[in-house]
Amino acid sequence: MEIDYANDNFTKPEQFNEKLSQLNGSIDLLLDEFKKIYVLSQMYPANQEYQQQYANMVGGLNQIQSKLFSVSNDVQVNIDKLNKLMFDLDIQIKKERVKNRELKRNLGIIENKTNAASELINDYTEIYGVRYLRNWALALSTIICIMTIGSIFKKQGV
Which range, of 31-40, 72-81, 84-93, 105-114, averages the lowest pLDDT? 105-114
Q: How far is the C-alpha of 105 from the C-alpha of 53, rounded, in Å?
A: 77
> What integer pLDDT is reported at residue 145 of this predicted model?
94
Residue 158 has pLDDT above 80, yes or no: no
Q: How far is the C-alpha of 82 from the C-alpha of 90, rounded, in Å?
A: 12
Q: How far is the C-alpha of 82 from the C-alpha of 89, rounded, in Å?
A: 10
> What integer pLDDT is reported at residue 12 of this predicted model?
84
Q: How far is the C-alpha of 11 from the C-alpha of 74, rounded, in Å?
A: 8
Rounded to an integer, the average pLDDT of 62-85 is 91
Beta carbons within 8 Å of 67's beta carbon, 6+ residues apart: 19, 23
Q: What's the predicted TM-score (pTM) here?
A: 0.54
DSSP annotation string for the chain: -----TT--PPPHHHHHHHHHHHHHHHHHHHHHHHHHHHHHHH-TT-HHHHHHHHHHHHHHHHHHHHHHHHHHHHHHHHHHHHHHHHHHHHHHHHHHHHHHHHHHHHHHHHT---HHHHHHHHHHHHHHHHHHHHHHHHHHHHHHHHHHHHHHHHHH-
Residue 154 has pLDDT above 50, yes or no: yes
Residue 113 has pLDDT above 60, yes or no: no
> What integer pLDDT is reported at residue 1 of this predicted model?
44
pLDDT digits (tens, 9 = 90+) for 9-68: 778 888 888 998 888 888 888 888 989 999 988 998 898 998 999 999 999 999 999 999
Higher pLDDT, 157 or 26: 26
